[in-house]
Structure 1
Amino acid sequence: MLIGLEIKNFAIVSNLSTEWHSGMTAITGETGAGKSIAIDALSLCLGERAEASAVRPGTDKAEVSAQFDLSNLPLAHAFLEENMLNNDDNECLLRRVVCKNGRSKSYINGSPVTAAQLKELGQYLISIHGQHAHQHLLKAEHQLQLLDAYAGHHNLVNAVSQRYKQFADLQKEFKQLEQQQQQQAAQKQLLEYQVAELDEFALQADEFEQIEAEHYKLSNSQTILQVCQRELQHLYENDEQNACSILQHSAQQFTELAQYDESLASVATLLSEAAVQVEEASREVRNYTEQADLDPQRLTEVENRLSGAMDLARKHHIKPQELVGFHQTIAQELESISNNSSRLEQLEGEIEHALEDYQNASEQLSASRHQYANTLNGLISESMANLSMENGVFEIALTAQNDRAPNSLGFDNVSFLVSTNPGQPLQPLAKVASGGELSRISLAIQVIIAQKVTTPTLIFDEVDVGISGPTAAAVGKLLRQLGKSTQVICVTHLPQVASSAHQQFFVAKEIADGETFTHMLALNKDGRVNEIARLLGGDNISKTAKANAKELIKAHG
C-alpha cells in the first residue's frame, strides 16, 4: 500500500509531500490544474521512461520518492530478498532522480538499481488504469490478457509459452540444418570423392617420412655396396696389407718394447683394442654386404608410393607430410555433413512430439479459459446493470483454431461481445458500444479483475469520462466497495465519485512571479463539502450546492 509520496521539481510541482491511507482516495481539481501529476510522478518512480521535460524549468533535477507498506505482500518481499534490497521493517522506499539532461538514477531502499528493477517491483505494488483503458479493450490480445489475469492460471499460460518455445526452437534448428544440407550438397559430393581417394591411398602416420628415407637408401644402394666391399678389403680382407694386421703388428712391437720401458705398455694396449674394433667393424660390414638386397622392384614400389603421395599433396595444395592430418579433417567434415541427415530425421520426431505437448498444454489452457469466461460473463453483465445498462449482456466468445500456427498464447481466438438493448444480438464491442457505454464496460471489467488480481494499490485515472448522473453514483459506489479490500486512488471530475471516497485531495494551480505552481492538499470535512459543491455547481458555490454536497457525502456514511 502507498503510504507516502514526495515530489520535488517535477513538471509544474515545486515541492509536494503527501500521506496516503487505505480505502478509496479521490483526487479532484480544476481543469488543467494537473490532477494526474501524482500519478505521473508515481509512474516515473515505478520505472517508466524518464525525459528531460519532466524536470521543472530552472532547476537541475527532478526527484520523486514513494514509500510503501509491504505487509502481506510476499511477492514484493521475495523480490527484495532475491536482489538483496531488504529493509529491516515492512516498508520500502522507491526513489527516482531525473537530471535536466534526461539521465536518471533509481534507488530501492537507498541502494542504486536499474529502472527495469523498479518496474519489476512496481508490478507487485500498484496497478494503474488510465483514462484510455477502454480503447485497449477493443484489442483481441488485450482481451485475452484480461481473461488470463482474472483466471490467474499463470502455470497454464507459462506451460503453453514454454511448449511453444521448445517447438519453435526445434523448428528453427530443423530449418537451419535443412538450409545447410542444401548448401552442402555439392561440397558433400566433392568431400566424398576426396575422402574415397585418400582412403584408397591409405597413407599412414609418419609413412611419408619413412618411404622418403627408404627411397633415398634404395636409390644409392649400389654406391653403398661398392664402397662397403672396397673398404672391407682395406680394413681386413686384403692378404697383403690391411688395417687390422698393421695394428696387430704394431701392438706386438710395443708389447716387446714395454719390457724395456713399462710406460709403452699402454700404447700396446690401445693398439690391441683398436685392432679388435677394426675386426668387429669389418665383421659388420661383411654382414651388411651379404644381406644387402638390391631389389629393383622394391625401389619401383617405393618410388610409386612416394610419387603418389606427392601428387595428392600437390592436388590439395599442402605438403606431403600434412596429408594424413588433412585426410582426417575432411573425413570428419564429411561425417558432420552426413550426420545432418540423421539429425534432420531425429528432429522430425522431436518436432512432432513437441507439437503434441504444445497442443495438450493449449487444450488445458483453453478449458480453463472457457471456465473463467463463463464466470466473467455473469459478473460483468451484472456490473453493467449496476452501471445503468440494465438490459446489457456481456459474453466472452472463445473459439479454438487447432489448425492455426502455434504461438505463445495458445490457439484460442477471443472476442468480447455485448448487447446493450433487448432483442439486440451479441456483437463485438467496437460495433455496438458507444463511447460512454464502452467506458462503463471497461470500468466494470477493470474493477472485477482488480478484485481477483491481488495488487495492493489500484489507481484509476479519469476512467469515469463519459458518464454522469445515476451512472456516476453507481461508479462511485463500485469504487468505494473495492476500497474496502484494496487501496483505491481515483482521479475524477464527478461529484458522485468524489463523494464516495474515504478521503480526498484537491489539486490547484497558481501563478506567482511569472511561474506556475501546482499544489495538492488533503481536504478536511468542510473542504470536501466545498470541493464537491464546486463540482456540482461551478466556482460560485451556493448554499444549495453545499447542501447537496453534504447529502452526497452523508449517503456513504
Structure 2
Amino acid sequence: MPVLEELEIHDLGPIHRALLSPASGMTAITGETGAGKSMLLSAIRLISGGSADSGRVSSGAKAAWAQGVFAVDDHDASAQAAHEAGVEPDDGELFLARTVPVSGRSRAVLNGKSVPRAVLGSVASQLVTIHGQADQLRIASAAKQREFLDAVAGDDAQLTAYRKAWRALTDMDERLERLRGQESSARQQADYLRESIERINQVDPHPGEDEELKARRSRIENAADIAQGVSRALASLDASQVDVDADAPSATDLINQAIGALRDIHVDGPFSELADRLESLNADLSDVVFSLSQQMDDEETVEDLDAINARIHELSELTRRWGPTLADVIAWRDKSAFDVEDLDASPEKIAELEQERKTLYTDARHAADNLSAARAKAAKDLASRVTAELSSLAMDGASLTIRVTPRTTDEPIDANGADDIAFLFTPYEGSPQLPMGKSASGGELSRLMLALELSAADMRADGQGTGNDGMTFIFDEVDAGVGGKTAVELGRRLARLARTSQVIVVTHLAQVASWADAQFVVTKEPPDADDDAVGVITTVAEVSEDARVREIARMLSGSESEASLDHARELLADSRIAAAD
C-alpha cells in the first residue's frame, strides 16, 4: 500500500530544517502549543497541491521547500495518476515537492519533473487525506459525500452500468438537439451532399482507376516509339514474328543448335551442364518473344485515346473537389451518405429518434434505480456503524444519518444518478439534523471523520467497496475537548485504523500518543548566537525509549517527576499490550 516514507521541510515558518520518517502504522506528532506543529500540516498541504503563501517562508530565507517521498506499487491509483501526467515511479517511489519563493510563483515537481499544481494535487489525492478543520469541510459538499458513499458501497457494477446508459442517453439528446436546431444552412448542406453523392455515383469511380488510365494514355501517345522498339527487338530475336516470309533462323533456333552440339559431345566435362543452362535460357527467351508479340497485338488505337481522356477528365473533376485520391472521393461519398440522414431533419426521422430516446431513458432510469438501491443499503449500514463509533468518542447522543433521496420520474436524472445524497449530523440527542460542517465543532468534525474512516475500513474488511485502504490519513484537532477514558478510546481507534492505513495524528494527549508506533516532538527553541536564523527556531525530532517516556510524562503532567515518569511507562506499556490484542 502507498506509504509516506519521508517528509522533508526547508525554511517553512519557524522550521528551517526538518526530516521525518513516519511509521507505516501510526505516528504521533506532539509538542507544546505554539511550537509549530501546524507547519508540518502546511508542508503536507503544499505537496498536496494546496495554495502557496509566501508569508510562511522563514525570515531571511529566499524560498520555502517541502518534499514527500511515497512508496507505491505500479497498480496503485497514485501511480496511474502519475503515469497520466507523463511521470513514472522511480524504484517504486513518488517524490512530490513544492517550492514557494518569497516573491514569484510557486513550483510543483513530481519525480523531478515540473508539473502544474493541479497535477500534483491529483496524484496527492490518491495518497493523502488530511482531516483538519479547514480540510475536512470538503466532505460537506454533496459531491464528496456521494464519492465517499460509492467508495464503500461496493456499487461498481451498478455505477458502471448507469454511466454507460447515461452516455447513450446524452449522445441521443445531443443528436436530437442538433436536428431540431437545424436552419436553412443545414438543409442546404444536406442538398449539397445529396447532389454530390449523385454526381459521384454517376461517374462510378474505382480506386486507382485514374492511374491505370493515365498509364494506358501514355502507351497510346508513345505508340509509334513502342511499336518501332518492339518490332526491332522481335526482328532480332525472331524475324518471323515481324515478316512471315523471313527465312533467317531465330535466336531460339540458334541456341537449340548450340544445345544439340553440346549434347553430341560424349566426353566427360561441363558440357551437359552448359547445355542445361542454355535450355533454361532458351525457355526465358521464348517467354520474352511471346510477351513482345502480345504487346504488338495489344496496342490500342487512337480512338481509344479519346475515350480514355474523357474518362480521366471525369475522374479529375471528382478528385479536385473531393480528393486528392479516388479512394478519398469514395470514402467521402460513403460518409456523406450517413451525414445526410442527420442533416435531413424530417419529421419522420425526428420521431424515430425520439422513440429511440424513450427506450434509452427507460434503460438509464432502471440503471439509476439499481444504483440508488445499492447506495441506500450502504448508507444505512455506514450510518449505523458511524453512530456506534461516536458513542465511544465522547459524543454520546450524537448520530449520523445518510439520506439517499430518489428523484421522482418527473425530475431529471444527471451524470451521477437519480438521487440526492446528504450526510446529516446530530451532535446531541434532541438536536435537529444538520448538514455536516454546519453542526459540528472542529474537534467533533475530526472525530466524526475518524468514525467515518473506521467504519469504511470495517466495511471494506467485510468485502464491500474499495475506498481508501492504503491511504495516508492525517488527523488534526481530533482530540480537541476530550480526555481521560475517551482519549484512550480515541487512541485505540486511531491505532485500529492504522492496521490497514498509515495514520499521522497531531495530538496534545498522552493517551493518544501512547498508541503510536513512532512519535515526533516539535520543540521551540531560541536561536544560537552564531546562527544566522532570525527569531525562534522549531526543531522536529523522533523520540524513543527514555526520551519518549519523558515526552509522555510532560504531556501528562507538564513535568518529569518520578510519578509522572512511572505513569508514562505504564501508559505506554498498556497501549502496547492493548494494540497487540
> Which category of TM-score, normalised to the shorter sequence, fits these structures?
0.5 to 0.7
Over 3 Å counting, the alpha-carbon distance change for 1:48 and 1:375 in structure 2 is: same
Residue 461 of structure 1 pairs with residue 476 of structure 2: yes
1:316 is matched with: none
2:551 is matched with: 531
Point out the structure with max Rg over C-alpha. Answer: 1
1:10 is matched with: 12
* CA contact 1:456–1:487 (8 Å) conserved in 2: yes
1:238 is matched with: none
Q: Which moved more, 1:70-79 or 1:375-384?
A: 70-79
Give distance in 2, aligned partners of 1:429 and 1:79: 32
Which one of 558, 570, 577 corresponds to residue 551 of structure 1?
Answer: 570
- What are the superposed Cα offsets for residues 38-86 of structure 1, whole Å, 9 maximum, x if unpaired? 2321222233333433433433332222212225853344445555533
Q: CA deviation at 1:555?
A: 1.4
**Aligned partner of residue 515 in structure 2, secondary structure:** coil
In the alignment, residue 93 of structure 1 is paired with which amino acid? F
* CA contact 2:15–2:36 (8 Å) conserved in 1: no
1:494 is matched with: 509
Over 3 Å counting, the alpha-carbon distance change for 1:88 and 1:440 in structure 2 is: closer
Q: Which moved more, 1:116-125 or 1:491-500?
A: 116-125
Over 3 Å counting, the alpha-carbon distance change for 1:15 and 1:134 in structure 2 is: closer
Which one of 382, 396, 404 corresponds to residue 411 of structure 2?
Answer: 404
* CA contact 2:87–2:111 (8 Å) conserved in 1: yes
Over 3 Å counting, the alpha-carbon distance change for 1:523 and 1:171 in structure 2 is: same
2:286 is matched with: none
Give distance in 2, aligned partners of 1:92 and 1:420: 40
State how 1:334-373 maps to structure 2 within 5 Å: 339=345, 344-373=350-379
In the alignment, residue 55 of structure 1 is paired with which amino acid? V
Which one of 510, 515, 519 corresponds to residue 539 of structure 2?
Answer: 519
- What are the superposed Cα offsets for residues 437-485 of structure 1, whole Å, 9 maximum, x if unpaired? 5553332113323564223422112233233332221111000122122
Give distance in 1, aligned partners of 2:52 and 2:136: 26
**Aligned partner of residue 95 in structure 1, secondary structure:** strand
Give distance in 2, aligned partners of 1:439 and 1:83: 32
1:66 is matched with: 68
**Aligned partner of residue 119 in structure 1, secondary structure:** helix
**Aligned partner of residue 17 in structure 2, secondary structure:** strand
* CA contact 2:179–2:343 (8 Å) conserved in 1: no
Q: Which moved more, 1:364-373 or 1:525-534?
A: 525-534
1:384 is matched with: 390
State how 1:27-42 maps to structure 2 within 5 Å: 27-42=29-44
Q: CA deviation at 1:116?
A: 2.9
Give distance in 1, aligned partners of 2:53 and 2:348: 55
**Aligned partner of residue 53 in structure 1, secondary structure:** helix
- What are the superposed Cα offsets for residues 389-420 of structure 1, whole Å, 9 maximum, x if unpaired? 56665443322113322222212233445667
Q: CA deviation at 1:25?
A: 0.3
* CA contact 1:508–1:520 (8 Å) conserved in 2: yes
Give distance in 1, aligned partners of 2:76 and 2:32: 39
In the alignment, residue 146 of structure 1 is paired with which amino acid? F
State how 1:50-129 maps to structure 2 within 5 Å: 50-71=52-73, 74-80=76-82, 85-87=87-89, 89-129=91-131
* CA contact 1:126–1:456 (8 Å) conserved in 2: yes
- With normalisation by structure 1, the TM-score equals 0.64
Which one of 410, 420, 431 corresponds to residue 413 of structure 1?
Answer: 420
* CA contact 1:429–1:438 (8 Å) conserved in 2: no
- Unpaired runs of at least 5, structure 2: 193-339, 461-467, 528-532, 577-581
Over 3 Å counting, the alpha-carbon distance change for 1:494 and 1:410 in structure 2 is: same
2:291 is matched with: none
Q: Which moved more, 1:425-434 or 1:476-485?
A: 425-434
Give distance in 2, aligned partners of 1:88 and 1:137: 33
State how 1:100-499 maps to structure 2 within 5 Å: 100-132=102-134, 135=137, 139-154=141-156, 156-157=158-159, 159-161=161-163, 163-168=165-170, 170-172=172-174, 174-175=176-177, 177-181=179-183, 339=345, 344-389=350-395, 394-402=400-408, 403-416=410-423, 427-428=433-434, 435=441, 439-450=446-457, 452=460, 453-499=468-514
**Aligned partner of residue 42 in structure 2, secondary structure:** helix
**Aligned partner of residue 56 in structure 1, secondary structure:** coil
**Aligned partner of residue 345 in structure 2, secondary structure:** helix
Give distance in 2, aligned partners of 1:44 and 1:508: 22
Give distance in 1, aligned partners of 2:440 and 2:90: 51
2:298 is matched with: none
* CA contact 1:124–1:455 (8 Å) conserved in 2: no
Give distance in 1, aligned partners of 2:484 and 2:34: 23
Over 3 Å counting, the alpha-carbon distance change for 1:380 and 1:14 in structure 2 is: same
**RMSD (Å) for aligned C-alpha atoms:** 3.7
Over 3 Å counting, the alpha-carbon distance change for 1:342 and 1:531 in structure 2 is: farther
In the alignment, residue 550 of structure 2 is paired with which amino acid? N
Q: Which moved more, 1:366-375 or 1:153-162?
A: 153-162
Q: Which moved more, 1:25-34 or 1:73-82?
A: 73-82
- With normalisation by structure 2, the TM-score equals 0.61
* CA contact 2:487–2:509 (8 Å) conserved in 1: yes
In the alignment, residue 454 of structure 2 is paired with which amino acid? V
In the alignment, residue 47 of structure 1 is paired with which amino acid? G
| Residue identity (%) | 33
Give distance in 1, aligned partners of 2:436 and 2:89: 48
Residue 507 of structure 1 pairs with residue 522 of structure 2: yes
Over 3 Å counting, the alpha-carbon distance change for 1:135 and 1:172 in structure 2 is: same
In the alignment, residue 370 of structure 1 is paired with which amino acid? A
- What are the superposed Cα offsets for residues 301-332 of structure 1, whole Å, 9 maximum, x if unpaired? xxxxxxxxxxxxxxxxxxxxxxxxxxxxxxxx
Over 3 Å counting, the alpha-carbon distance change for 1:347 and 1:66 in structure 2 is: same
- What are the superposed Cα offsets for residues 350-377 of structure 1, whole Å, 9 maximum, x if unpaired? 4323322321221121121123223323
In the alignment, residue 117 of structure 1 is paired with which amino acid? V
**Aligned partner of residue 19 in structure 2, secondary structure:** strand
Give distance in 2, aligned partners of 1:72 and 1:404: 43
**Aligned partner of residue 16 in structure 1, secondary structure:** strand
